[in-house]
Amino acid sequence: MNQNTHKLYQKGVSIWLDNITRKMLDNGVLQKYITELSVTGLTSNPSIFEAAIAKTSDYDAAIARISKPGITNEEVFFDLAVEDIQRAADLFLPLFEKTNGLDGYVSIEVSPLLAYDTENTLKAAKDIHQKVNRPNAFIKIPGTPEGLPAIEKAIAEGIPINVTLLFSAEQYEAAALAWLKGVETRINSGLNPDVRSVASVFVSRWDKAVADKVPAALQNKLGIAVMQKTYHTYQNFLNSERVRRVMNFGAFPQRLLWASTGTKDPKASDVLYVTNLVAPYTVNTIPENTLLAFADHGETGETIPNDTHAADLLLKQFEEYGVDYLQLAGQLQKEGAEAFNKSWDNLIDSISTKRKHL
C-alpha cells in the first residue's frame, strides 16, 4: 500500500479517481489503484469519455456491436458509458458495503446540453439511474440555477446525486440546500431520508482564469482561498439545525468534493491542490496523472482552517487587481458548462464517424 495516499485517506479525505476508460477496467489498473493507492471512488464527465472513446480505438468493437438501425449516437454513448460505470461500480462495491454506503461511488453525468433545462435533466437522471442499476452510482447534475430544482426533485425521488460545476461557497450552499430540501420532502412523506450526495466544487480553473491578471506573488493562490471559504460554509452547513434534524431522522449529510484538482500551471507543484485541500469528511477526485504524482512524492498538508480570515485577506488582494469573486464564479460555471458541451459534441460526432466507418 502506498504510504502517501494512505496517509491522505487516514486524514479523512476520500480519494476518488477522476477518470475511467475501458482499458483500465480490462487490464486491472483500476483494481490496482483501489488496492495499492487507497482509491475509494471514481468520477467521469463528458471530457473524460471524449478522451476515452473519441481519441482511441478501444471502443470501436463495442460501437460496431451496439450500432443497430434506429439507435441514436447518444444512445450508443450511454450504452458504452453505462457498461463502464457498472463494471467500475462492481469493483467498488466492497468499499461501499464496508463504509455503510458512504464511499465506493462512481459517477455518470446527464447530457451537458441539459444544464439549463430542469424538466429534461430530471427525466434524464431518472433514466440513467435506472439503466445503471447499481446502489453505489451517483448521477451528476450541474448545479446551475436550472439544475438545482432537478437536484432537489431527484433527491426527493431517492436518486443519489453528484452536484457538479460548482465554483464558489455561494454556489455550493445553493446545491447543499437543494439536497436538504429533497431530504426534507422524503421525511415529510414518511420515506427513508438517507439519499447520498456530494457537492463538487472546481478548484484549478480559478487560478487559470486570473493567471494573466495578477503578479507572481498571487499566482495559484485564488483556487485554494475560494475552497477555504467554501469549506467554512460547508462546516456551518453541517452544524446547522436543519441538517442535524434530518440526521436525526437517519440521513447522512451531503459531502463536499474537491474537483478539478490537477495543477494547470507547469511552474507550480503538480500536487498543489491535493496537498492543500486536506479536511475530514471530504472527497478529492484526482486526475490520474496527479494521483500517480502524489503517490510518488506527495505530502499531506495541514488541515484546512475552519475560518475565512486568511482567505478573505487574499480575496481582497485579488480585488485590487480587478478580480470580482462573485462575477468570476458565475463566469466559470458558464464556461465550464460550455466546455462540457464542446466535449459532448466532439464525442457524439466521433461516434457518428466511427459508426459510418465501422
Single-letter amino acid code for the residue at 126: K
Q: Which entry of 140, 153, 264, 354 is annotated as an active-site residue?
A: 140
Asked whether 178 and 163 are in contact (CB, 8 A), the reply is yes
Separation between Cα atoms, residue 198 and residue 107, nearest integer Å: 10
Query: How many CB atoms are located within 10 Å of the residue 152 CB?
Result: 23
* Alpha-helical runs (H) found in the chain: 3-10, 22-26, 29-36, 46-49, 60-66, 73-98, 118-132, 147-156, 169-188, 204-209, 222-238, 241-248, 272-275, 288-297, 309-319, 325-357
The helix/strand/coil state of 199 is strand
Residue 278: HSE in the Cβ half-sphere, 13 Å Cα cutoff? 18
DSSP secondary structure, 293-320, as one string: HHHHH----PBPPSS-HHHHHHHHHHHT
Q: Quick one: DSSP state of residue 53?
A: I
Cα separation, 206 vs 167, in Å, equals: 8
140 is a catalytic site residue: yes
DSSP 8-state class, residue 160: -
Tell me the angle at which helices 147-156 and 118-132 cross, rounded to the nearest 10 degrees.
40
Q: Which three cell numbers stand for residue 169?
A: 461557497
Exposed/middle/buried for residue 268 (C-beta within 10 Å: 0-12, 13-18, 19+): middle
What distances in angstroms separate CA 231 from CA 140, 146, 248, 256, one per listed residue?
21, 24, 23, 8
Can you tell me whether residue 142 is helix, strand or coil? Answer: strand
CA 96/CA 178 separation, integer angstroms: 24
Residues classed as catalytic: 140
